[in-house]
Chain A
Amino acid sequence: MPISSPYKPLLMLLIAGFLAALLSVSIGSTAIGFEDTLRVITGSGTDLQQTLILELRLPRTLSAFATGGLLAVAGALMQVLLRNPLADPYVLGLSGGAAVGALLAMLAGAAGFLVSGSAFAGAMLATLMVFGLAHGSGSWTPSRLLLTGVVVAAGWGAIITLILSMTPASRLPGMLYWLMGDLSHAATPWPGMIILVLVCLMVFPLGRALNVLARGSLQAAALGVSVRPLEWSIYLMASLLTATAVTMAGSVGFVGLVVPHMLRLVLGNDQRLILPACALAGGTLLVLADTLARVVIAPEQLPVGVITALIGVPTFLYLLYRSR
């Protein structure tokens, strides 16, 4: 846990994130060279380039960054909460609840803000449900929480299938895109960005307590951690992060699972380093995935969730295969 130079890996990740963002705003239907991109960022460049980069591509790139960062941090928090390195932000049924909310709104013919708001409400409802049910008659163990979440998630899955089967064919593509994660409807990146930065600032003072909690709740209590309030705040924080991400981009899979896991392999397990690193690496990964999603079959776009899953599944299986 003693961080020899915590800033070096974070600085490198920050640079990587910046480069990815630069790449992302310069690639597209009209390619803009790196030099021109830099020119636009510093305030010059043609009007067309300005509009293209600052009004069209940059918000989307920032949305991708925020979504990826939110999901990765949420994943890392959930993993500490459940003392299970295989947990992810969706495992407790959050994305299921959000999806049901969003699809119901779409089924009713709503679009834009109503869909986002409904998704957020669904995610928070799912959170409260799982938490209340797992709390049950007192004992609140990670395995019980995990089981409750998995079963509730299966329930959401069934409702999603039901909604899809009742939907007229003309509306299906939009729903499917939402379910697989899609950044083209992200309205504004700022709420996500602000929440991401705020949470990163908040978790730093909690970091050492999280390190202790990762050793088990009894050990943590014996070392002076108020376990129950800490677990509540992690859970609520992770839920808020996930709900925000899902609201922006639909359910993008695997970022929350794979990013923290890979970073732990490289950087160790100090939450004070891992959590900000997750924010940067998760953001970078999703910016790159979204860039790919835009260009692979341009001018058509792929849902970004397909890309993250295509990268995430083999990576994760490889990590799992390598671990004992």
Chain B
Amino acid sequence: MTRLTTEALIIDIPGRASGVPLNLAIEPGQVWGVLGPNGVGKTTLLHTLAGLREPRSGQMLLNGTPLVDIRRKTVSQRMGLVFQDRQDGFPATVLETALIGRHPWLSPWQMESGEDLAIAERALETLDVIHLKDRLVNTLSGGERQRVAIATLMTQSPEIWLLDEPTNHLDLQHQTAVMKLLRQQAACDRAVFMCLHDLNLAARWCDQILLLYPDGQACWGPARDMLVTSALESLFGQRLLSAELDGFPVFVPG
């Protein structure tokens, strides 16, 4: 089990005041949702947590060890990230794309084994893209590519899942399937931390919420305490109507 914590973390967004330092504890079993308007630094936060960007100050710790002191390969066995944008400079098939998730687990001299292949195929099956496994990724639709990206993370099988808007481009059915998958992973003592734009998905599936404000302010805590109409209205600068359905809050623009 791996625990990701931040100590007085301030992400580095050029030209912005430092604001509130983040002292987050992302525990196994939790599903976190990060909400905030465009450009507030959600992606920067994810990249910083994954160790791909330097923070302005503070640090991240994996099980109490500073992230910078851990080998990149070890980090990538514990923590994986689904990016919002993907580059495909060279054509590659869906199966090949999922298989790169095994990279952290193989030594330089090792080829992917049958077991690695089985892991990748299982992930593609879970994400409902196994029928596309021999197709080139750049010929797929946006939603299919998104599912392939999540399947790649699943193939990597880290204990901490960072996802940048995982429901982008997905239809309703697959949005639900992906959110259910993420909850399942959390139930297996993994931690999920994702940026979202859809308040209702966050309300339905996340148990912890982090609100990021444009001036660098932030607050976080259990979803029930954070998803309050007045707080969300000031976050997005948008009047909201809310109701409760089946015990989950629902928000629509007012």
Asked whether A215 lies within 8 Å of B100 as measured between CB atoms, the reply is yes
Asked whether B87 lies within 8 Å of A215 as measured between CB atoms, the reply is yes
Asked whether A3 lies within 8 Å of B111 as measured between CB atoms, the reply is yes
Quick check: is A205 within 8 A (CB to CB) of the other chain? yes
Asked whether A205 lies within 8 Å of B100 as measured between CB atoms, the reply is no
Chain A residue numbers with a CB within 8 Å of B47 are 218
Chain A residue numbers with a CB within 8 Å of B81 are 222
| Shortest beta-carbon distance from B124 to chain A in Å | 14
Contact of A222 among B80, B87, B109, B117 (CB under 8 A): B80
Quick check: is B86 within 8 A (CB to CB) of the other chain? yes
| Shortest beta-carbon distance from A212 to chain B in Å | 5
Quick check: is A1 within 8 A (CB to CB) of the other chain? yes
Instruction: Decide if the interface of chain B is mainly helix, strand, loop or mixed.
Output: mixed
| Shortest beta-carbon distance from A268 to chain B in Å | 8
Contact of A212 among B80, B91, B93, B100 (CB under 8 A): B100
| Shortest beta-carbon distance from B132 to chain A in Å | 16
Asked whether B89 lies within 8 Å of A224 as measured between CB atoms, the reply is no
Asked whether B50 lies within 8 Å of A209 as measured between CB atoms, the reply is no
Which residue of chain B has the shortest Cβ distance to A324 in the bound complex?
B138
Contact of A83 among B52, B73, B89, B109 (CB under 8 A): B89
Quick check: is A264 within 8 A (CB to CB) of the other chain? yes
Given contacts A1-B112, A223-B76, whether A83 and B87 have CB atoms under 8 Å apart is yes
Asked whether B90 lies within 8 Å of A269 as measured between CB atoms, the reply is yes
Contact of B72 among A84, A225, A269 (CB under 8 A): A225
Q: Mark B35-68, 1 if CB is under 8 A from A, else 0.
A: 0000000000001001110000000000000000
Chain A residue numbers with a CB within 8 Å of B76 are 222-224
Chain B residue numbers with a CB within 8 Å of A225 are 72, 103
Which residue of chain A has the shortest Cβ distance to B149 in the bound complex?
A219
- A79→B149 CA distance, assembly (Å): 23
- A211→B83 CA distance, assembly (Å): 18
Asked whether B104 lies within 8 Å of A224 as measured between CB atoms, the reply is yes
Which residue of chain B has the shortest Cβ distance to A205 in the bound complex?
B108
> Which A residues are within 8 Å of any B CB, using their own CB?
1-3, 79, 83-85, 204-206, 208-209, 211-212, 214-216, 218-219, 221-226, 264, 268-270, 272
14 sample A-B contacts, Cβ–Cβ < 8 Å, listed by A number = A2-B96, A2-B111, A2-B117, A83-B89, A83-B90, A205-B108, A212-B100, A214-B90, A215-B89, A215-B92, A218-B83, A221-B72, A224-B104, A268-B92
Known: A223-B101, A224-B72; 18 extra A-B contacts, CB below 8 A, are A2-B117, A204-B109, A206-B108, A208-B108, A211-B100, A214-B92, A215-B88, A215-B97, A215-B100, A219-B86, A219-B100, A222-B50, A223-B103, A224-B71, A224-B73, A224-B77, A269-B92, A272-B111
8 tightest A-B contacts by CB? A224-B76, A216-B87, A205-B108, A83-B89, A224-B73, A224-B104, A223-B103, A1-B96
